[in-house]
Amino acid sequence: MDVFSTPAHFQPLNSLLNGDSSKPKLRNVRSSIPSSLPGPLLHAAPSKSRLSSSSPVSVASPLEPAIDVAAGEEKFDWYSQWYPVMPVCDLDKREPHAKQVLGMDVVVWWDRNENAWKVFDDMCPHRLAPLSEGRIDPSGRLQCAYHGWCFDGNGNCKLIPQSPLDGPSRDREGGIPLDFTLKKLGIEGFDAELEFGYCKYQAPCILSIHADVDSPSKGRRRMTLTFMCVPVSPGNSRLIWAFPRNFDIWIDKVVPRWMIHVANNLVLDSDLYLLHIEERKIKEIGSKNWQRACFLPCKSDALVVGYRRWFNKYADGEVDWRGRFSGDLPPTPPREQLMDRSCSRAYKSLNAMATVLEVVAIGLIGVVAAATKQGAVSAAGRTRLAILGSVCYAVSRWLAHFVQKYFRYHGYNHSVPDKAMVFVQMFRLGVAP
Ligand code: FES
């Protein structure tokens, strides 16, 4: 049975709804709760609810024992109670867990430095990504999957990779902090400078990053990365992007388009769920209050700050749907549906190929069985057919797995390194939009 200690800043659950925006809000675990309870608990202050002896009203029914009910104004406070979250035996200490209590999202994680389970609001104070999508870092802290901020068991932020004081030269996936400086901001958008180029936001949906780098061996390399993000309906947008450049353009001619899409999806989809949740959190607190909820101390966030300022100042914090929608976000679909990429032609072709290979494999095994019975084919021939059938079957299974993972649903468990992500996450720390 685990025994939990009470951190010094133990607060009632309802008081945690407001507070220091630079820390994740802490839902504390139990201290003086009877030790027979099996797992981490959401904090509750000692119950203020009690039965009063003043002005008793007798309630009697043939089915219930007679009790006295106070006629006073007291009301039960659901947010000043303890709630068990999960049995400890069902929790894995190696990763954070998302749970919900009273409609609130919390993250439960094992703090090995304090030997205790911790329960925080499931919302990173940086840009509101769910901390439960993160990981336990090598020092035993809770690390956000989005930009890598790390928190100790008291909710103190111990590492900001984008900060010049903390920042690694490269993170584990090759990302580096980027130094943006916001320049002119007006109704048409804004400009920003960065070390090796500049950036332009053209309202409402075009963002371009221009870079100009001198390479001693390859001369002057120029490139522009342009994102066009089209508002489709509340909660949905369409991303179109282009990468014009004056080098390595042969890649576009040689590599099939679907392969480039698969690589892009690895980057975009790994952030998709985080952004989906962030959008809902910002909606909940109100677009105009985002700066009170988010803590953005680094220059890497300058583009986000610029966009939010533009959005609130010139668009009143919302897209003008001209009454086509209520403005409410649609309910969150299951993750498999959210990440479904089944629309591409390559998906259909590869899927068809996997099915054909499976049918061929079954056919070949059938032929071998029939030939064995009738003695129609030599033993060596039957062996060759059986091997061919097995290979077809193995390839069809591998193809089906590939299609499922890269076209339908990639789970993105951020608590373990994904090797496929290493080459595509170069911009995570600095420019994740
Ligand atoms: S580090 Fe958590 S949202 Fe950025």
Indicate whether residue 146 lines ligand 1 (CB < 6 A): yes
Residue 431: band (very low, low, confident or very high) from pLDDT cuts 50, 70, 90: very low
Stretch 300-306: mean pLDDT: 93
Least confident residue range of 64-68, 203-207, 322-326: 64-68
Residue 14: band (very low, low, confident or very high) from pLDDT cuts 50, 70, 90: very low
Residue ranges covered by each domain of the chain: 13-52+59-159, 180-333, 345-408
Any idea how long the chain is? 433
Indicate whether residue 126 lines ligand 1 (CB < 6 A): yes
Indicate whether residue 412 lines ligand 1 (CB < 6 A): no
The pLDDT, as a whole number, for residue 105 is 93
108, 97 in Cβ contact below 8 A? yes
Atom of ligand 1 at shortest range from CA of 134 = 2
Q: Which of 144, 159, 162 to mutate to test the pocket of ligand 1 (most atoms within 8 A of CB)?
A: 144
Tokens of 349: 């072709």
Distance CA 363, CA 330 (A): 46
Q: pLDDT by residue (tens digit) across 131-156? A: 999 999 999 999 999 999 999 999 99
Residue 220 CA to ligand 1 centre (angstroms) = 35
Residue 49 CA to ligand 1 centre (angstroms) = 38
Distance CA 284, CA 123 (A): 12
Nearest CA to ligand 1 atom 3: 127
Residue 431 CA to ligand 1 centre (angstroms) = 12
Indicate whether residue 277 lines ligand 1 (CB < 6 A): no
Indicate whether residue 190 lines ligand 1 (CB < 6 A): no
Indicate whether residue 294 lines ligand 1 (CB < 6 A): no
DSSP-derived letter for residue 163 is S
Atom of ligand 1 at shortest range from CA of 278 = 3
Indicate whether residue 144 lines ligand 1 (CB < 6 A): yes
Q: pLDDT by residue (tens digit) across 239-286? A: 898 999 998 888 888 888 877 877 777 777 778 889 999 999 999 999
Q: pLDDT by residue (tens digit) across 73-94? A: 788 999 999 999 999 999 999 9
Domain 13-52+59-159 top-level CATH class: mainly beta
| Mean pLDDT, all residues of the chain | 79
Reply yes or no on whether the pLDDT at 129 is more than 80: yes
Reply yes or no on whether the pLDDT at 355 is more than 80: yes
Helices and strands (DSSP H and E) totals, the chain: 8, 18
Residue bearing tokens 């504390």? 28
The pLDDT, as a whole number, for residue 191 is 96
Residue 1 CA to ligand 1 centre (angstroms) = 34
Tokens of 361: 């494999």
Nearest CA to ligand 1 atom 4: 147
Atom of ligand 1 at shortest range from CA of 149 = 1
Atom of ligand 1 at shortest range from CA of 124 = 2
Stretch 154-164: mean pLDDT: 89
Residue 227 CA to ligand 1 centre (angstroms) = 21
Give whole-number Cα distances, 212 to 175, 200, 220, 366, in Å. 19, 15, 7, 62
Indicate whether residue 295 lines ligand 1 (CB < 6 A): no
Nearest CA to ligand 1 atom 1: 147
Indicate whether residue 124 lines ligand 1 (CB < 6 A): yes
Helix (H) or strand (E) holding 395: helix 379-403
Residue 127: band (very low, low, confident or very high) from pLDDT cuts 50, 70, 90: very high
Q: pLDDT by residue (tens digit) across 188-213? A: 999 999 888 999 999 999 999 999 88
Cis peptide, bond prior to residue 96, ω within 30 of zero: no
Indicate whether residue 129 lines ligand 1 (CB < 6 A): yes
Indicate whether residue 361 lines ligand 1 (CB < 6 A): no
Helix (H) or strand (E) holding 120: strand 116-121
Residue 131 CA to ligand 1 centre (angstroms) = 8
